[in-house]
Chains A and B, each alone.
Chain A
Amino acid sequence: MTATGIGAPVRRKEDQRFITGKGRYVDDINRPGQAHACFLRSPHAHAAIRGIDAAAARAMPGVLAVLTGEDLAADKVGGLICGWMIHSKDGTPMKAGPHPALAQGKVRYVGDHVAVVVAETLNQAKDAVEAITVEYDVLTPVVETARAAGAGTTVHDEAPDNVVFNWHLGNKPEVDAAFGRAAHVVGLDIVNNRLVPNPIEPRAAVGEYDDAEEAFTLYTTSQNPHVARLVLSAFIGIAPENKLRVVAPDVGGGFGSKIFIYAEETVCVWAAKKVGRPVKWTCDRTEAFLCDAHGRDHVTRAEMALDEGGKILGLKVHTIANLGAYLSTFASSVPTYLYAPLLSGQYNIPAIYCEVDGVYTNTAPVDAYRGAGRPEATFVIERIVEVAARQLGQDPARFRRRNYVRSFPHQTPVIMNYDCGDYGASLDKALEIADVKGFPKRRRESARTGKLRGLGYSSYIEACGIAPSQAVGALGAGVGLWESAEVRVNPTGSIEVLTGSHSHGQGHETTFAQLVSDRLGVPIDSVTIVHGDTDKVQFGMGTYGSRSGAVGMSAIAKAIDKVIAKGRKVAAYVLEAGEGDIEFKDGRFGVAGTDRSLAFGEVALQAYVAHKFSGADLEPGLKEGAFYDPTNFTFPAGMHICELEVDPETGHVTIARFTAVDDFGTVINPMIVEGQVHGGIAQGVGQALYEGAVYDADGQLVTASFMDYRMPRAEDFPSFAVGMTVTPCPSNPLGIKGCGEAGAIAAPAAVMNALTDALGHEGIAMPATPLAVWRAAQASRPQPLAAE
């Protein structure tokens, strides 16, 4: 390992600009002549629009335009789309209603987009929004996930009973048979609470139209600018792709919420041409709460069949998934193909059957949030495994180990083929780091001070490296999920790598450069990573689902191989040797068995000056591209252990220790990978203890600011204990599995298993706020821990 190569904790190249205030985020961009947009949003969860009177607003100072859904329709601007077709178990396609960027006829959630004002200044736009009069016929809203189906009021006419799909996966007769011969059946009702992603940078957009070139530019907070361009072009019809540039510069966190193609960005780029001025919109935090796609929101009944000794025989799951008022970009895939295929967890479960009802409600759209389906699946399996162990009177760690998958490849009953892993190794390491042996003593010490101490495990697995295009195409995806890369070597030997991945905190400028430095033997500072601009990078699928390492870097590795192959040809001419005799090692092309060699930079120069070979024999230049399509998902897995203490008098929960041992395959930069784990854990603990989006019965979001929605803060956590085990992924050239979501996937179950262990009963749901914990702790009182 070199100081800047694969495996080195290289300090991040991008940090210099961020720590000096020179990052460039979308809201930092101002274009000449720029006007400002402000949206009029629905105050009602569900209402028919009888009329919009914008005359007064149009007459206000500085107002350039007031645009509504009628204007969109007149311009034949298409609606927002959901890019994954799900079929119900009866074979019918999902029942999707239209999703106009500005409401047409009806509003379906509080915050829904009714009109936009474009004005000279933001304050003028805001003032004019208040002058628009809308006549609504308020309708009864559908709010609750569990009661949406057949609620008697319909969100979209296309789905009269509000059920978008009734999907299933697995083999029901086999599961029924497993339950028929079970010695034990364990059941659990689970609510996976609704979350708001809340990257600290709110979304923003600047749309611009160049009427000389007849071309648009959209600066936007996107995790996948090429997908945004594709959707805006092919489906929404803003402009052909060659006339639309999408730029996603520095982006301040995404966590999934910046994957999607939203109304505001669409309207900004469309309005730019209408008003003949660049149009800027920056989301405020309350707008983000109202309109960013939310995450999770499942209501689930799970049942597990076990034999006499505690071997798992089968798993049966029924989930109602709230999709919100409209189907967001990937909404339909999250509670289906990103969820049910992970229900096998790390366990050898012979039979699994899962049924999912996706429902419309009058709430914000729900889509992928860090982990996307996999945290929900992990929560189901890890909670029910824990409860099963408890009910059978078995140690939860031993119970898990007994049911772990031990031989690979392992075909689960729910699509996935696990390629490699060593779950026992992660468990062993986690038990040691967490000092589980010392837990009983610590628990007694807590009891002496009137506190309840608990320990909880979570053996998570996820499917990353999304995804083999053919496989996801067969499951309904509208796109391929490969990645592209281009490695451009300059004559002087410096290198630009263009990637379709997008970094919004992940540190690609460093890790991707580490790969290039490692493979080509060049200094890391001579490598620049270029991303986030459709005019520079030809195409890319973007960053989500922990795919940038496994898929994005694999594409770069492929392109590097081609660069080396070409360099070998150039070196053969220069060194007057046979191409087969040229070896590339430690950054030099040499003739095998001799001391004759050329540095990488010398070969680059020779490739461009082209004096040593004829154009008939070899093309000049040194630039190679590659598309990498994965052959399988990757399967990061690990063991997270939470130890916490409950104060039954106040309901306050203190996380005493949090241990994470993860197997991410090959690690490029352990410092960055650990950072990803830390952040994921915080979001997972946040889901378990603090965060929850709450709509009241009228469909008003009552948690719409950081004053009301409890974001995790520094004081909520101890320092985390993080360890790694490594089984390199066999399906990609680098052995990478992916690390971005592990913490958010594993932590909720670890926390809730610890909390229920402390309380001595299962009667508490997420978020386990102090009030909820206090109430639950009152129920715990008859079971004094001192008896232990």
Chain B
Amino acid sequence: MTSVSLTVNGKAVTADVEPRTLLVQFLREGQRLTGTHVGCDTSQCGACVVHLDGEAVKACTTLAVQCDGRTVTTIEGLAAPGGTLHPMQAAFREHHGLQCGYCTPGMIMTAVDLVRRKGHHLDEATIRHELEGNICRCTGYHNIVKAIAAGAEAMAAEPVREAAE
């Protein structure tokens, strides 16, 4: 067992884990944060996307021990304290960007990362290209694309990381 200390959704967490423990297992089983889903085991579907130090990663191919000393944000940590939805969450609801909801957390976390990287004015081609690592079987992506474009505009208050990089 190896000890890891990290910040999860703003809360300091220390735990002993088997070295082979994946971040998604650590979150789902250890922290009971079941909003992060497993859909494919091969890093294709993106249902498991979370933010590691503010950047999107697939939690099914990240080891928990890799996150030692770092900050993880999951879908449960995206809304403001008090429950005000993140603009991207609100946009998914407003534009019917989800049906069964299973891919949704990963889609939203990917979308937030996308806006941070590419800015608030995203054209359709960019959004579709950037969703290469997220699979949805329900929506045909049509409303996800609309939701992300609207959510990006609504995130205008957030800084764009690319400018700093």
Contacts and interface: CB of A to CB of B under 8 A. Distances in A.
A18 B131 CA distance: 19
Interface in B40-88: 40-42, 44-45, 47, 74-76, 78-79, 85
Contacts of A255: 137
A408 interface: no
Given A200-B103, A250-B101, A252-B101, A713 B41 contact: no
Interface residues of B, number: 54
Contacts of A315: none
Contacts of A707: 42, 44
Contacts of A285: 39-42, 45
Contacts of A18: 98, 101, 104
B42 A706 contact: yes
A299 to B, nearest CB: 26
A14 B101 contact: yes
Interface in A667-724: 671-672, 674-675, 678-683, 705-707, 711-715, 717, 719-720
Q: Which of the four size classes fits the interface of chain A? A: 35 or more
Most chain A beta-carbon neighbours within 10 Å: one of B38, B98, B99, B139: B99
Contact of B34 (A15, A28, A681, A719): A28
Contact of A713 (B38, B40, B132, B138): B132
B131 A713 contact: yes
Given A15-B93, A21-B34, A714-B132, A201 B44 contact: no
A11 interface: yes
B35 interface: yes
A424 interface: no
B136 A200 contact: yes
A198 interface: yes
A113 B104 CA distance: 32
Interface stretch (A499-507, A561-569, A576-584): A499-507
A126 to B, nearest CB: 12
Contacts of A711: 44-45, 135, 137
Contacts of A24: 34
Interface in A10-24: 11-12, 14-24
Contacts of B78: 20
Contacts of B108: 19
Nearest to A709: B44
For chain B, what secondary structure do more than half of its interface residues adopt (helix, strand, loop), or is it mixed?
Answer: loop
A357 B108 CA distance: 46
B112 to A, nearest CB: 12
B116 interface: no
Contacts of B136: 200, 714
Contacts of A683: 137, 140
B92 A15 contact: yes
A717 B143 CA distance: 12
Contacts of B79: 20
Given A11-B93, A706-B42, A678 B131 contact: no
B36 to A, nearest CB: 7
Interface string A265-297: 000000000000000000011100000000000
B142 interface: yes
Given A21-B75, A199-B102, A252-B102, A714 B141 contact: yes
B99 A505 contact: yes
Contacts of B139: 675, 678-679, 682
B121 interface: no
Nearest to B20: A123
Contacts, number: 176
Nearest to A669: B96
Nearest to A506: B99
A726 to B, nearest CB: 20
Contacts of B142: 675, 678, 717, 719-720
Given A21-B105, A715-B129, A717-B140, A201 B92 contact: no
Interface string A717-753: 1011000000000000000000000010000000000
Nearest to A672: B96
Given A12-B96, A15-B92, A706-B45, A679 B138 contact: yes
A25 interface: yes
Contact of A21 (B33, B42, B92): B33
A251 interface: yes
Contacts of A507: 99
Contacts of B47: 200
Interface in A423-477: none
A361 B136 CA distance: 31
A771 B74 CA distance: 40
Contacts of A201: 37, 39, 100, 102
Contacts of B138: 200, 253, 505, 675, 679
B102 A200 contact: yes
B35 A23 contact: yes
Contacts of A19: 75, 85, 89-90, 92-93, 98, 101, 104-105, 108
B140 A720 contact: yes
Interface in A185-223: 198-202
Contacts of A743: 140
A675 B45 contact: no
Interface in B121-165: 124, 127-129, 131-132, 134-146
A611 B78 CA distance: 51
B16 interface: no
B134 to A, nearest CB: 8
Contact of B100 (A20, A253, A717): A253
Q: Which 4 A-B pairs have the closest CB atoms?
A: A21-B35, A252-B102, A18-B101, A505-B100
Interface of B: 28, 33-42, 44-45, 47, 74-76, 78-79, 85, 89-90, 92-94, 96, 98-105, 108, 124, 127-129, 131-132, 134-146
Interface of A: 11-12, 14-25, 27-28, 198-202, 250-253, 255, 284-286, 504-507, 671-672, 674-675, 678-683, 705-707, 711-715, 717, 719-720, 743
Given A17-B101, A706-B40, 14 more contacts: A20-B35, A23-B102, A25-B34, A201-B39, A253-B102, A253-B138, A285-B39, A285-B42, A504-B100, A679-B138, A711-B44, A713-B132, A714-B141, A720-B142
5 contacts: A19-B90, A21-B35, A28-B34, A198-B137, A286-B41
